[in-house]
Structure 1
Amino acid sequence: MENSGVGMLLGDTSVTALWMMFIGAFILGGTILYGVIKTGRMRRSERAQLDRNTEMAQRRDDPEKRAAR
């Protein structure tokens, strides 16, 4: 008897291996989504420190530049 349906599509790949690939892709996608959501969020103190550092670097690089505020 010939293979038909899912057996024909999978070939030698077992159904368990296929499910493991789907679960792995789901976990990887969740991890990437978590990283994307967490990136870019700074606390107020972190944002203020970044602004101070940027302002000092701009003054150091171009002393003639006026503060934007």
Structure 2
Amino acid sequence: MSDSGIGMLLGHLSANLLWLWFVGAFVLGGALVYGVMKAGHLRRGERARLDHATEERQRQEDPYKRPT
């Protein structure tokens, strides 16, 4: 039994398994990039609701704060 090419370099690991690793890493990387991009962006309504809730919380904690 003689190995040649990529099989010789990898020992008993098959080339198909290597391609599966690359595809898996690509899919995982794409999911991570998508998650990072979506995590930092809020829609206009979501941002307004978050800002309003933050102002309300600050007024509760510091009643002397001037309204803006």
Higher relative contact order (CA 8 A, sep 6+): 1
Q: Which residue of 1 aligns with 2:37?
A: 37
Matched letter for residue 43 of structure 1: R
Name which of structure 1's ranges 16-25 and 58-67 shifts more when overlaid on structure 2.
58-67
Cα RMSD between the aligned structures? 1.8
CA shift digits 1:5-64 (9 cap, x unpaired): 533320111000000000000011011111111112111111111111000000001111
The total of aligned residue pairs comes to 68
Matched letter for residue 45 of structure 1: G
Matched letter for residue 49 of structure 1: R
Identity %: 56
**TM-score, L = length of structure 1:** 0.82
Q: Tell me which stretches of 4 or more aligned residues in structure 1 moved more than 6 Å.
A: none
Structure 2, unaligned runs of 5 or more? none
Matching of residues 1-69 of structure 1 within 5 Å: 3=3, 6-67=6-67, 69=68
Structure 1, unaligned runs of 5 or more? none
**TM-score, L = length of structure 2:** 0.83
- How many Å separate the matches in 1 of 2:19 and 2:64? 63
